[in-house]
Structure 1
Amino acid sequence: MSTVKFIEKHGLYGADEQRAAEQAIEIIMREGIEAVRLAWPDQHGLLRGKSLTVPAFISALESGNAITMAPFFFDTANAIVFNPFTPDGGFSIDGLGGSPNVTMVPDPATLTILPWAEKTALVFCDLYTTDGQPFPLAPRTILKNTLANMATAGFKLVTGIEMEWYLTKLVDNGLETASLGAPGTPADPPTVAPVGRGYNYLLLDHLDEVDDTIRPIRTALSAMGLPIRSFDDEWAPSQFETTFDILEGVAAADAAALFRTATKQIAKRHGHIASFMCTPAIAGFYASGWHLHTSVVDANTGENLMISRDNAPLSELGRHYVGGTLAHGIAASVFTTPTINGYRRRRPYSLAPDRVTWGQDNRAAMMRVIGGTHDPASHVENRVGDSAANPYLYIAAQAAAGLDGIVNRTDPGPLSEDPYSEDVPQLPSTLSEAIGVLDHDAFYRKEFGDGFIDYMVTMKRSEVTRYEAWLAENPDESTYVNGVTDWEHREYFELF
């Protein structure tokens, strides 16, 4: 007697997903794929999952694939933040006690062949509890729910990614001599060297110096179908910026996550370390950011609804969208800048925003308006993000805030000509401050749920508590590099 499989039982695939599953199997057979990495983004935006054989993957297209939810107990140093062996696992969510399994359900349309890993493909997954409900702590689910709210209102979010990062040469991996770490104590980071010298900007000589390393990354990203636009020489030594063409919704977050994973894995295979940590503790390095470009389009026609038809910088809807992102920008900080290190960007006159402002083509503003009257590419750029931000939560926080502004017709106030001198609310200057704001914020509790907000607040407070304990034992600031502590470098450099 046949048994109804998990995906059919809970109605998780519609006709589109069924067709995509059939096509995924055809591609795997045609290309001789031997392993499929099922991947899902965790609370930190890191990809986790399993590598399945082809028969196991085909089975997962019907039954899903069980995996422990244990990573959701861990902060950025794998400290165990919650006690899994309590009735609710410490989450205040029924059914999560005892570290139960969750089920990975492949999103078959995301099947991507990985050019750097022989005969290997990757598929993004959504997580479900054993009763077929979406796992409430999964960031990809949070984003999907937020975009569904936009769709109900008749809108779609179009996103462009512009992310800065560092490329360094591996000198010593330290595996034979250094600490390998423990829960709550990161391993010693590898010893690295810069790949370039001098502060420049868009210098082609710097790009040529590292072309042999960048080329396999660029080639792989293009082969995977990611809409890469450019690799740029950024401001600081060994700092680069990568930009993408526009993508919709979840596809943009998947692309950002896959880009970071691909860049790090390919670089390491070639004797380099790529890092999306904001400011590494390496002499001469500078802060990296993630500038998130967004526009709102009509869900049916695809028309850009932010285009101004008069002399205003944006349409009325676009201005209200900006108003929402400004109104909720302070509370969104844990999502846009989730690391202690990321708050080192928030300094006046540093090309990173330190307060809630908007401006016409002004890189000092939090929300930079790009375009003008009748410009079909009119959109806004949120310049507040940390390059280590979780793509799913960063985009979800932006979408929720913008939609709230549209619905409630939030006025963004006047454009700023000197954003660093405006008498407007300041953005949080530390992660600890940002956590406190989020904890008491009614808006994101309504949008993402109390359980998820309580979870993130507790998770990030663990990180801050460990950092503050280290500071108390290491008060000598003369040991910091670029003003960055050794704690931060250990915590974030190799992880992100």
Structure 2
Amino acid sequence: MSRGSGFIEKHGLWTDDQSKLSKEVIGRIKSDGIKLVRVAWGDPHGASRAKTLTAKAFLGALKNGYNINVATATLDASGARVFSSFSRGGGMGLDEMTGSPNLTVVPDPHTFRVLPWEPDVAWILCDDYFGSGQPFHFSPRHVLRKQLERLKGRGLSCIVGLEVEWYLLRLAEDHLTEENLGSPGIKGRALRAYPVEPGYSFHSETNFDLMHEPIAALASAYEALELPVRSFENEWGPGQIECTFEPTDALRAADNMLLFRSATRQVARRMGYLASFMCRPKLKGLYSSGWHLHQSLVDADTGENVFAPAESGEPLSKLAKAYLGGLLNHAVAAAVFANPTVNAYRRFRTNSLAPDRLTWGTDHRGVMLRVLGEVGDQASRIENRLGEPSANPYLYIASQIITGLDGIDNSLDPGAPATDPYSADTTKLPKSLPLALDSLDNSELFRREMGELFVRHYLALKRKESDRFTEFAKANSLDPASEEITDWEQNEYFDFF
């Protein structure tokens, strides 16, 4: 260690490539006239959290990292306290969590961007560490990195393509009132909004043109941010948009998703719109949104797609079929990482354009796992149609690698493809968040691969959220399994994601 080295060098937290890129970042801070930098990190819920630093303070963070409070990992999505942070062990039995301590976030130079809507403000994604240099136990980005290292040890990489649905709505209120203000554990009333087009005219050019102005602004922002968005589609519901992304490596895809949601919401809000990644908002006529995750494995050295079948007539390679078997075998336990909200489980209905049970098929949009593959096709892949757009991208993708590798290691057979998936005699997906959490709780695979600490922590966070909904339903004499979206869900999720 050289004299005067900082936190990052002391603990060896950057690769040589990151160290080299950090010098380019320093140059851009000066040449682009950057005054402020948002140092961001993803919380367990999949939301982007950030501190804003002066340019001078950020240059220091490129050597020493920057202190943040551990609180964003100890609160549920409403800000309710989940753990006894001020007792010994922080309510987790971990001495290092006592007293809600500081963490150190370390910027990843690969993720540096200048915000096009605030050109003197930059954004960079960070990894969080304890003061000892140990990775933070509950960091979703670290969870994904661990799985990517497992793949690397086998000479493989994961390629991910995003296909995300969300709602663009016009705000009906131009300011907040006391009704919109909540308190820890209680969300205020969600802002009112109304549709920008009538919906239910799939791919209507005329209806899409009604949304042209904000879509054009978003397209410009995505290009400036180097987000590989390649298409906008007018989906089913009023103002429902689907964005598709060029495939890229898994970590970059997860990072892109975090930035994509934040950028979309910020650009839209500045134009008087509200972009919501809530699965199914409580507005008349709105349809559920999904997030389809396209995934494949490639040779880490050559980039050759190892999912592509070797023989004509086969949809996938032998390895990919075993991976597919793992996705199916552990889909119920993995469901909560793709669908982490109360609201999401209303999607799983017969003939709903979303799956309701564990099925796969070749180029079939009614199954859970849609397979697209041909001999020599470097785009051969598995599309998981399970997710909702508010899912934590790091945990969603990590869950796929964990279950897929278990399939490979145990040569799991996916069985025959489904031709009529909504009547197939197979296991159904969980009908509620509590049932999904119970399935995760019973998974030895996830406890082993994500770690006992992480799984216990995640279960505690999400059960707090689930319990708050149950209390609301009981207090208002509501059936939690009803088809009706509740005010609680609208307030909880509409403007959080």
For normalisation by structure 2, the TM-score amounts to 0.97
For residue 351 of structure 1, report the CA deviation from its aligned partner.
1.1
Larger mean CA deviation between 126-135 and 86-95 belongs to 86-95
Match of 2:369? 367
Match of 2:410? 408
Deviations 1:117-175 (A, max 9, x none): 23111111000001000001000000101111111111100000000000111111552
What amino acid sits opposite 1:366 in the alignment?
M
- The structure 2 residue matched to 1:419, chosen from 418, 421, 429, is 421
Match of 2:301? 300
What amino acid sits opposite 1:17 in the alignment?
Q
Equivalence map 1:42-441=2 (5 Å): 42-173=43-174, 175-310=176-311, 311-441=313-443
For residue 102 of structure 1, report the CA deviation from its aligned partner.
0.2
SS in 1 for 2:146: helix
Please give the alpha-carbon distance, in whole angstroms, between the structure 2 residues aligned to 1:18 and 1:73. Answer: 31
For residue 31 of structure 1, report the CA deviation from its aligned partner.
1.4
Please give the alpha-carbon distance, in whole angstroms, between the structure 1 residues aligned to 2:170 and 2:58. Answer: 36
What amino acid sits opposite 2:97 in the alignment?
L
Please give the alpha-carbon distance, in whole angstroms, between the structure 2 residues aligned to 1:90 and 1:303. Answer: 47
Please give the alpha-carbon distance, in whole angstroms, between the structure 2 residues aligned to 1:41 and 1:78. Answer: 15
The answer (yes or no) to whether the contact 1:161–1:243 under 8 Å persists in 2 is: yes
Please give the alpha-carbon distance, in whole angstroms, between the structure 2 residues aligned to 1:109 and 1:325. Answer: 30
Please give the alpha-carbon distance, in whole angstroms, between the structure 2 residues aligned to 1:335 and 1:66. Answer: 28
Please give the alpha-carbon distance, in whole angstroms, between the structure 2 residues aligned to 1:303 and 1:464. Answer: 43
Please give the alpha-carbon distance, in whole angstroms, between the structure 2 residues aligned to 1:212 and 1:105. Answer: 37
For residue 91 of structure 1, report the CA deviation from its aligned partner.
2.2
The answer (yes or no) to whether the contact 2:166–2:276 under 8 Å persists in 1 is: yes
Instruction: Note the residue ranges of structure 1 that are not aligned, 5 or more in a row.
Output: none
What amino acid sits opposite 1:164 in the alignment?
E
The answer (yes or no) to whether the contact 2:280–2:286 under 8 Å persists in 1 is: yes
Please give the alpha-carbon distance, in whole angstroms, between the structure 2 residues aligned to 1:179 and 1:236. Answer: 26
For residue 267 of structure 1, report the CA deviation from its aligned partner.
0.4
Please give the alpha-carbon distance, in whole angstroms, between the structure 1 residues aligned to 2:495 and 2:429. Answer: 27
The answer (yes or no) to whether the contact 1:92–1:451 under 8 Å persists in 2 is: no
Please give the alpha-carbon distance, in whole angstroms, between the structure 2 residues aligned to 1:50 and 1:2. Answer: 29
What amino acid sits opposite 1:49 in the alignment?
A
The answer (yes or no) to whether the contact 1:24–1:109 under 8 Å persists in 2 is: no
For residue 476 of structure 1, report the CA deviation from its aligned partner.
5.2
Please give the alpha-carbon distance, in whole angstroms, between the structure 2 residues aligned to 1:179 and 1:78. Answer: 15
The answer (yes or no) to whether the contact 1:174–1:191 under 8 Å persists in 2 is: no
- 1:339–1:51 Cα change, 3 Å: same
What amino acid sits opposite 2:126 in the alignment?
C
Please give the alpha-carbon distance, in whole angstroms, between the structure 1 residues aligned to 2:92 and 2:174. Answer: 37
What amino acid sits opposite 1:413 in the alignment?
G
Deviations 1:176-225 (A, max 9, x none): 34241000001211111111113111111121111111111111001111
Spell out structure 1 runs of 4+ moving beyond 2 A.
1-4, 91-94, 371-376, 475-478
Q: Is the counterpart of residue 464 in structure 1 residue 466 in structure 2?
A: yes
Please give the alpha-carbon distance, in whole angstroms, between the structure 1 residues aligned to 2:469 and 2:373. Answer: 42
For residue 424 of structure 1, report the CA deviation from its aligned partner.
1.2
Q: Is the counterpart of residue 41 in structure 1 residue 49 in structure 2?
A: no
What amino acid sits opposite 1:95 in the alignment?
E
Deviations 1:449-488 (A, max 9, x none): 000000111111101111011101112579x9x7101110
Larger mean CA deviation between 8-17 and 281-290 belongs to 8-17
Please give the alpha-carbon distance, in whole angstroms, between the structure 2 residues aligned to 1:303 and 1:61. Answer: 36
The answer (yes or no) to whether the contact 2:199–2:207 under 8 Å persists in 1 is: no
What amino acid sits opposite 1:8 in the alignment?
E
- 1:92–1:204 Cα change, 3 Å: farther
The answer (yes or no) to whether the contact 2:204–2:234 under 8 Å persists in 1 is: yes
Please give the alpha-carbon distance, in whole angstroms, between the structure 2 residues aligned to 1:371 and 1:306. Answer: 8
The answer (yes or no) to whether the contact 2:40–2:126 under 8 Å persists in 1 is: yes
The answer (yes or no) to whether the contact 1:174–1:188 under 8 Å persists in 2 is: no
Please give the alpha-carbon distance, in whole angstroms, between the structure 2 residues aligned to 1:337 and 1:285. Answer: 18
Please give the alpha-carbon distance, in whole angstroms, between the structure 2 residues aligned to 1:314 and 1:470. Answer: 47
Please give the alpha-carbon distance, in whole angstroms, between the structure 2 residues aligned to 1:26 and 1:466. Answer: 48
For residue 434 of structure 1, report the CA deviation from its aligned partner.
0.4
For residue 112 of structure 1, report the CA deviation from its aligned partner.
0.9
The percentage of counterpart residues that share the same residue type is 44
For residue 321 of structure 1, report the CA deviation from its aligned partner.
1.0
Instruction: Note the residue ranges of structure 2 that are not aligned, 5 or more in a row.
Output: none
For residue 417 of structure 1, report the CA deviation from its aligned partner.
0.7
Cα RMSD of the aligned pairs, angstroms, is: 1.5
For residue 27 of structure 1, report the CA deviation from its aligned partner.
1.7
The answer (yes or no) to whether the contact 2:66–2:104 under 8 Å persists in 1 is: yes
Larger mean CA deviation between 22-31 and 174-183 belongs to 174-183
What amino acid sits opposite 1:277 in the alignment?
M
SS in 2 for 1:178: helix
What amino acid sits opposite 2:438 in the alignment?
G
Larger mean CA deviation between 4-13 and 445-454 belongs to 4-13
SS in 1 for 2:123: strand
SS in 2 for 1:409: coil
Total equivalences in the alignment = 494
SS in 2 for 1:424: coil
For normalisation by structure 1, the TM-score amounts to 0.97
Please give the alpha-carbon distance, in whole angstroms, between the structure 2 residues aligned to 1:4 and 1:25. Answer: 17
SS in 2 for 1:348: coil
SS in 2 for 1:330: helix
For residue 94 of structure 1, report the CA deviation from its aligned partner.
3.5
For residue 84 of structure 1, report the CA deviation from its aligned partner.
0.4
Please give the alpha-carbon distance, in whole angstroms, between the structure 2 residues aligned to 1:4 and 1:220. Answer: 37
Please give the alpha-carbon distance, in whole angstroms, between the structure 1 residues aligned to 2:174 and 2:90. Answer: 36
SS in 1 for 2:429: coil
